[in-house]
Structure 1
Amino acid sequence: MSWEDVFKLLGAAIFSLGGGGALVFGLSSWLGKVWAGRILGKETHRLNLEVEAAKRSLDLIKENTLRFQNDKILAYRAVVEIIARILATFDSYESNRLSATDAAARFDEFNEHRIRVYGYLAMLAPQAVMDAQDVLMDYLLKICNNTDQYEWARVREKALVAFNAIRADIGIDKSPITYNGDL
């Protein structure tokens, strides 16, 4: 065997190992990309499912919060309506436009609604609203039972305290409203 044959044989061996190495390297690179793509696809799918579940949870929380807030507003609206009705009765009675019998019937109606609304508020309102409501209702009841006198300025003062507590609770505005009129 000549030197030339030895170099040819060594060159062929190196070439065949290099080609096989390149083939193994290329296949392993391709296989790595395939596996990485599959793993990434599974993780992406899992994350998408988690994001969707989180969105559903947030939507449910949002819906419950809005429903609760709406229930509060309805209960507070009922408070305003019964207060307005009894104050109109006081004004009509004080100006002799309403008989004592009719005034008594309206007081009974007021008392029934007052008790119902108190139950609604007890389920929804914070203590600050309950306290202000109690002070106002106690004063109105004293007027109805002739143990205190009807004074519009005192009613307005107590009503504004209650309304400001309501406004703070439902987040309309934290600054209190005041009466700036002449009466």
Structure 2
Amino acid sequence: MTWDDTFKIVAAMITSIGAGGAFIFALSTWLGKLWAQRILESEKHQLASALEKTKSELDVIKETTLRFQNDKLHTYRSVIDVTARILSSLDAYESGRLQANEAGARFDEFNEQRLRIYGYLAMIAPQSVMDAQDALIDNLLTVANGGAEYKWEIVRENALALLNAIRIDVGIDKSPISYNGAQ
């Protein structure tokens, strides 16, 4: 065997390996792209599914929060309604427009409702609202039981403190309201 034959054999081997290598390289590149696309599609699907689940969870949180805020506003309106009714009764009684027996019946009604409202507040209200409610109700009970004279200025101050605590809790406005009237 001559050097010329050896070079031809080696050249033939390198050529065949080079062509096969190029074919294998092209095939592996194509296969790699195909796998990458499939993996990417799978990841996209999983991500879309996770986003949908998160959106659903956020919707539940949103609905729960809105329902809680609605319950809170409803309870606070009830507090104001009950308080307004007893205040109007005390005003009517103090001015002589309400007889003692009718005033007593209204006080009994107020007493029942205030206990119910206290329970409602205890479920949703922060301590600041509870404290303001306590101060107002304690004053009204003291007046109704004859332990103190009815003074509208004190009642108004307690009522405004309650309203301001409620406003802060529901996020209406953190700046307090005040009475700027003449009476």
> What is the TM-score normalised by the length of structure 2?
0.91
Question: Amino acid of the residue matched to residue 173 of structure 1?
Answer: D
1:129 Cα deviation (Å)? 0.7
| 1:55 equivalent in structure 2 | 55
1:149 Cα deviation (Å)? 1.2
DSSP 3-state at the match of 2:182 = coil
1:70 Cα deviation (Å)? 1.2
1:45 maps onto 2:45 in alignment: yes
| 1:114 equivalent in structure 2 | 114
1:16 Cα deviation (Å)? 3.2
Residue identity over aligned pairs, in percent, reads 60
Note the alpha carbon deviations across 1:85-107, whole angstroms, 9 max, x for none: 01111121122221111111111
Moved more, 24-33 or 62-71: 62-71
DSSP 3-state at the match of 1:49 = helix
Correspondences of 1:131-150 after superposition (within 5 Å): 131-150=131-150
| 2:25 equivalent in structure 1 | 25
How far apart, in 2, do the equivalents of 1:130 and 1:6 lie? 103
How far apart, in 2, do the equivalents of 1:132 and 1:78 lie? 15
DSSP 3-state at the match of 2:48 = helix
1:65 maps onto 2:75 in alignment: no
| 2:75 equivalent in structure 1 | 75
How far apart, in 1, do the equivalents of 2:112 and 2:15 lie? 102
Moved more, 16-25 or 139-148: 16-25
Moved more, 74-83 or 92-101: 92-101
Note the alpha carbon deviations across 1:113-160, whole angstroms, 9 max, x for none: 101000000111111111110010010111111111111111100111
> What is the TM-score normalised by the length of structure 1?
0.91
What are structure 1's unaligned runs of at least 5 residues? none
Question: Amino acid of the residue matched to residue 62 of structure 1?
Answer: K
1:19 Cα deviation (Å)? 2.3
1:12 Cα deviation (Å)? 4.9
The count of aligned residue pairs is: 183
Moved more, 110-119 or 37-46: 37-46
